[in-house]
Structure 1
Amino acid sequence: MLITLKAVTNENYEPICLLDVSNEQEDYVASNTWSLVEAAYNENYTVRAIYCEDEPVGFFMWVQESPIKISIWRFMIDQRHQNKGIGREALSLALTEIKQTQSITEIGICYNPNNPVAKDFYFSFGFIEIGMDEDNEDMLALIHLKEE
Structure 2
Amino acid sequence: MKICDLSVAEDQYDYVAENMWSLVESKFNASFQTRAICLDGKPVGFFMWVPETPKRISIWRFMVDQNYQNNGIGRKALQLALDEIIDGLEEIEICYNPNNPVAKDFYGSFGFVEAGMDSEGEDVLAIIKI
Q: Partners in 2 of 1:107 and 1:33 — Cα distance? A: 24
Partner of 1:33: 20
TM-score normalized by structure 2?
A: 0.97
SS of match in other structure, 1:50 = strand
SS of match in other structure, 1:134 = coil
How many residues align structurally? Answer: 130
Q: Partners in 2 of 1:43 and 1:56 — Cα distance? A: 22
Partner of 1:134: 119
Partner of 1:86: 73
Partner of 1:51: 38
Q: Partners in 2 of 1:138 and 1:43 — Cα distance? A: 25
- Deviation per CA, 1:5-64, whole angstroms, max 9, x where unpaired? xxxxxxxxx701100011111111111111000001013100000001121100000000
Compute the displacement of 1:133 (Å). Answer: 1.1
SS of match in other structure, 1:120 = helix
The alignment-based identity, stated in percent, is 62
SS of match in other structure, 1:57 = strand
Amino acid at match of 1:70: I
SS of match in other structure, 2:85 = helix
Partner of 2:109: 124
Amino acid at match of 2:106: F
Q: Partners in 1 of 2:11 and 2:70 — Cα distance? A: 15
Amino acid at match of 2:33: T
Amino acid at match of 1:84: N
Structure with greater Cα Rg: 1
TM-score normalized by structure 1?
A: 0.85
Q: Partners in 2 of 1:54 and 1:68 — Cα distance? A: 32
Q: Which runs of 5+ in 2 are unaligned?
A: none
Partner of 1:108: 93
Partner of 2:62: 75
RMSD: 1.0
After TM superposition, what 4+ stretches of structure 1 lie above 4 angstroms from structure 2? none
